[in-house]
Amino acid sequence: MEIHDDQFFFGGVSAVELAKTYGTPLYVYEEERIRENFRRALKAFQKYYADFRFFYAIKANNNLAIANILRQEGAGIDAASVNEILLAKQLGLGGEDVMFSGNFLSDDDIRQGLESGVIFNLDDPSLLPRVLRYGKPELLAFRVNPGYGECEVGSFVCNAGPDAKFGVHPDQVLDAYRAAKAAGIKRFGAHMMPGSSIRNPEYFGFITGLIMDIIGKVSRELSIDFEFIDLGGGLGIPYRHEDAVLDIDAAAAKVAKVFKEKIAEYGMKPPRLMMEPARYFVGDAGYIIGTVHTIKDSYKRIIGTDIGMNVLARPALYGAYHHIYVNGRERDHRKPVGLCGQLCENTDFWVHDRPLSENTTLGDLVIVENAGAYGFGMSYQYNGRLRPAEVLVKDGKSWLIRDRETYDDMVRHVHVPDHLK
């Protein structure tokens, strides 16, 4: 994103032009930023541990145009559901380029996951006999809950630790692999996902130690040569401008140091090191452009835009912070105002007391930052307010990568029985 003369540009295309061409609310993604983010992170991790690979957690932004950028950069796909495995297939990825890390799976999920031939990552030992009913996965992992997790996402609860629904209890991990080995499974990996949006490099070294102490013992006890260890996602980005950027080189150095020490300590054959981030790649490459439609001066001034919690759920859901700009008005004198969308719920009043230009007026464009991860993917059509369009930008060009939803889309799957007509 660039600002020239107080006008916002994305990939060289102005916010005004994008809004005029595609309407608002509009998700805009900068292709080059995604590539830069990926390359920066890959370079850091490969510098300290050559056999390293990223899988992209496609849940954060499942637009196939976005996922194709990451595929071109060499990422595999982390899939949370069978449909996400199908998305990966559409990218031309399958087999060991895709990891299925679903949780609380149905038998259908298990059957289809197994048939798809991707790496199967089990969230609980109870799944193993259910998987074996349909066949034997070529390469199997268990998702370990190492008893500790962290998260910087508002009041969002962690992905690991005693209160998380994910992963295998450390006391059950050895028996889980023992049972899998006894069932004739030959190739193994291990996985965890203990936190999201972490900007402290120490954290990544710390969690590496947690999983390696659990898996190192399993490796020794059962004579398993683990083929990979996947540390999950969690590489954070600064949502507030005063927040520090994650020192990715320091994080990679700490991870690799602990990883190598633990390999030596447990006498392991060096496994591939994997991570499956999403936010770090796509989060700061995405913006939402909205339009100011109504301004109200009541108990306080409230600026109403077309960016409601249906378009960006994170503030209403987690109390998450997103920086907001007003195109053409960043140099103005500021006054604290509220900002809301157009839904009939007060959680849609998602910004209170934010200093924005006191000249903000109808028709102005509002820009929401860091919307590339968990933005569109968590949008919905409540109140008949439909999902926005998505656009990719690069080198002064823009491409529509998802149509704006229409009324027909909203009613397409609805059926009214004859007796009600």
Q: Phi and psi dihedrals of 134, rounded to 5?
A: -100, -15
Helices 31-48, 248-265: axis angle to 10 degrees equals 40
Q: Can residue 27 be called a binding residue for ligand LLP (CB under 6 A)?
A: no
| Nearest-approach distance from CB 370 to ligand LLP, in angstroms | 10
Single residue of 185, 215, 252, 373 touching ligand LLP by CB under 6 A? 373
Q: Is-contact 93 70, C-beta < 8 A?
A: no
Q: Can residue 289 be called a binding residue for ligand LLP (CB under 6 A)?
A: no
β-strands 119-122, 2-4: how paired? unpaired
Q: Can residue 153 be called a binding residue for ligand LLP (CB under 6 A)?
A: yes
Placement of tokens 């038998």 in the chain: 107
**From residue 36 to residue 75, what is the string marking binding to ligand LLP with x (rule CB under 6 A)?**
---------------------x--x---------------
| Stretch near ligand LLP under the rule CB under 6 A, chosen from 15-23, 123-131, 270-278, 409-417 | 270-278
Single residue of 197, 219, 305, 360 touching ligand LLP by CB under 6 A? 197
**From residue 309 to residue 348, what is the string marking binding to ligand LLP with x (rule CB under 6 A)?**
-----x----------------------------------
Q: Can residue 193 be called a binding residue for ligand LLP (CB under 6 A)?
A: yes
Q: Can residue 234 be called a binding residue for ligand LLP (CB under 6 A)?
A: yes
What does 350-374 look like in DSSP terms, one character per residue? Answer: -EEEEEEETT--TT-EEEE-S-SSS
Tell which residue, 233, 297, 229, 238, has the closest CA to residue 268: 229
Q: Is-contact 387 7, C-beta < 8 A?
A: no
Long-range contacts of 77-85 (CB under 8 A, 24+ apart): 78/233, 78/276, 78/278, 79/118, 81/109, 82/108, 82/109, 82/112, 82/113, 82/116, 84/58, 84/59, 85/112, 85/113, 85/116, 85/118
**From residue 70 to residue 99, what is the string marking binding to ligand LLP with x (rule CB under 6 A)?**
--------x---------------------
Cα–Cα distance between 303 and 358 in angstroms, integer? 11
Which amino acid type is present at position 313? A
Which member of 151, 158, 340, 344 is catalytic?
344
Comparison of 233 and 286: residue with beta carbon closer to ligand LLP? 233
Active site residue 344: yes
Q: Can residue 31 be called a binding residue for ligand LLP (CB under 6 A)?
A: no
| Stretch near ligand LLP under the rule CB under 6 A, chosen from 46-54, 190-198, 340-348, 384-392 | 190-198
Cα–Cα distance between 220 and 223 in angstroms, integer? 5
User: Where do contacts with ligand LLP occur on this chain (CB under 6 A)?
Assistant: 57, 60, 78, 101, 153, 156, 193, 196-197, 232-235, 276-280, 314, 373-374
Residues involved in catalysis: 344
